[in-house]
Amino acid sequence: MTEPLLRTPSIPTTDPEAGLKVTEIFYSLQGEALTSGLPTIFVRLTGCPLRCVYCDTEYAFSGGTRQSLDAILATIESFPCKRICLTGGEPLAQPNAIALMNRLLMAGFEISLETAGALSVADVPPAVSKVMDLKTPSSMEADKNLWSNLDYLTQNDQLKFVIMNRADYEWSRAKLREYNLDKRVGTVWFSPMFNVAEEIDASNLGELAAPEVPVLARQLAEWILDDALPVRFQLQLHKIIWADAKGK
């Protein structure tokens, strides 16, 4: 009999030393990108300068607890895993995130960094796999894309487009071709907007509103096939398994 999927609850972190402001640290399955499906330790830092309409981690915009890098590392080392996902919020909104990445690399951890693409990735250690968004028009934050970040991406990195409708798809396809993105990074992801915890209030979005997730996912898959795009389609596994529950 197959055992049910389990995850370790978040560990409260209350170290008083200033280092980084942390919303939560937890152990779960990675739900997206190249390590999808693998056990991973998530370090969710607090704060983000963006307000994308489909954001699913608004609880990380504020609050959190300040911890020293030693305290964060001690919590991480309590889990049976050497794979880290540094996420947010926006991790790069806190300068000490770079110091944390360097500490984790020295300790032998494999790290991916989830970043919105609005802040510079120039100082991110090359060994860290950057999973960087390019915000589409329907996110309402496309004007925040820091295009100079493309100069710092390598084959160790990944780009992600979250797509809500056909207009987003066409914009993403155009950027893919304009910047030869599939040649700049190891993987380009096209992902349908997926928010299952609560419906996005589309009353003021008009044509920007996305159809329901299964319909949008099928449409996006068909558009990619029709255009034979050199991208990878993805659904976020954690949202399918845990329905967008906090800390999963």
CATH topology of domain 20-242: TIM Barrel (3.20.20)
Q: Which ranges of the chain have pLDDT less than 50?
A: 1-16, 196-210
Residue 81, both tokens: 């895993």
pLDDT of residue 200: 44
Distance CA 44, CA 60 (A): 8
- pLDDT value for 195: 52
Cα separation, 96 vs 13, whole angstroms: 17
User: Tens digit of pLDDT for each residue in 110-158?
Assistant: 999 999 999 999 999 999 999 999 999 999 999 999 999 999 999 999 9
The pLDDT value recorded for residue 18 is 59
Are the C-beta atoms of 168 and 137 separated by less than 8 Å?
A: yes
For residue 4, what pLDDT is reported?
33
In angstroms, the CA 123 to CA 31 distance is 26
